[in-house]
């Protein structure tokens, strides 16, 4: 019995010693989650592709800085379709990242930056673009969608935001069709 008690005591001591000398969790583990409530001005004047494209996958903010999520929206678009700047700005990047064409535009008068991929750029870094101006075309390969799509992202400095928040209500939600009276036709 004495032998068992001695072993228990030794193991308890080792356990306490290892707990006291355990390394602290990595610094990134305690980082706060990304800001989700940042106010985004509805300054967009056009969709990146098409008139009102189908949103294949919406924005899903991560719970932590490095956590899983979807940091943008995927818009249905056929290969070769024009990709447009949603608002005026200056091109901060136009090139390839991990084998995909990417265009990034800093929006005028804001700290916001939009990104579009996979895009074959028709602009260069430093170019000034207007709202609805073509910045490239949809590439046939390199998309993470099941078909082809454009991944549209929005960043405020290093924080990802929902790019759909850039769209004013008249672009985001088209109301129901309204029939207007036809002049000269009896009711």
**Which among 75, 74, 83, 90 is positioned nearest to 122, based on CA atoms?**
83
The stretch 148-175 carries a mean pLDDT of 90
pLDDT for 94: 98
Lowest mean pLDDT among 2-11, 16-25, 141-150: 16-25
Peptide linkage before 118 cis (omega within 30 of 0): yes
* pLDDT tens, residue by residue, 64-108: 888 998 999 999 999 999 999 999 999 999 999 999 999 999 999
Q: Whole-angstrom Cα distance, residue 103 to residue 13?
A: 59
The stretch 48-52 carries a mean pLDDT of 93
Distance of CA 141 to CAs 42, 54, 67, 118, 119, Å? 31, 19, 26, 8, 10
Helix segments in the chain, DSSP class H: 2-20, 169-172
Selected residue with higher pLDDT from 33 and 99: 99
For the chain, give the mean pLDDT: 82
Residue 163 has pLDDT above 60, yes or no: yes
Is 159 in contact with 34 (CB distance < 8 Å)? yes
pLDDT for 63: 87
Selected residue with higher pLDDT from 76 and 30: 76
Q: What is the pTM of this model?
A: 0.72
Distance of CA 76 to CAs 2, 64, 102, 149, Å? 74, 28, 17, 5
pLDDT for 144: 75
The stretch 126-136 carries a mean pLDDT of 98
Q: Whole-angstrom Cα distance, residue 12 to residue 3?
A: 14
Predicted confidence band of residue 171 (pLDDT cuts 50, 70, 90): confident
Selected residue with higher pLDDT from 145 and 18: 145
Provide the 8-state DSSP code for 113: E
Predicted confidence band of residue 151 (pLDDT cuts 50, 70, 90): very high
């Amino acid at each position: 019995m004495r032998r068992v008690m001695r072993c228990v005591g030794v193991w308890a001591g080792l356990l306490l010693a290892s707990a006291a000398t355990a390394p602290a969790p990595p610094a990134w583990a305690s980082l706060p989650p990304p800001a989700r409530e940042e106010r985004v001005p509805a300054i967009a004047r056009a969709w990146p592709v098409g008139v009102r494209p189908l949103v294949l996958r919406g924005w899903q903010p991560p719970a932590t800085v490095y956590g899983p999520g979807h940091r943008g929206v995927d818009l249905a678009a056929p290969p070769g379709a024009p990709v447009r700047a949603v608002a005026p700005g200056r091109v901060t990047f136009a090139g390839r990242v991990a084998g995909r064409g990417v265009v990034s535009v800093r929006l005028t008068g804001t700290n916001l930056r939009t990104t579009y991929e996979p895009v074959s750029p028709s602009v260069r870094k430093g170019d000034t673009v207007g709202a609805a101006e073509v910045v490239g075309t949809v590439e046939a390969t390199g998309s993470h969608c099941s078909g082809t799509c454009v991944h549209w992202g929005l960043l405020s400095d290093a924080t990802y935001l929902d790019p759909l928040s850039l769209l004013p209500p008249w672009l985001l939600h088209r109301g129901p069709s309204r029939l207007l009276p036809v002049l000269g036709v009896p009711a």
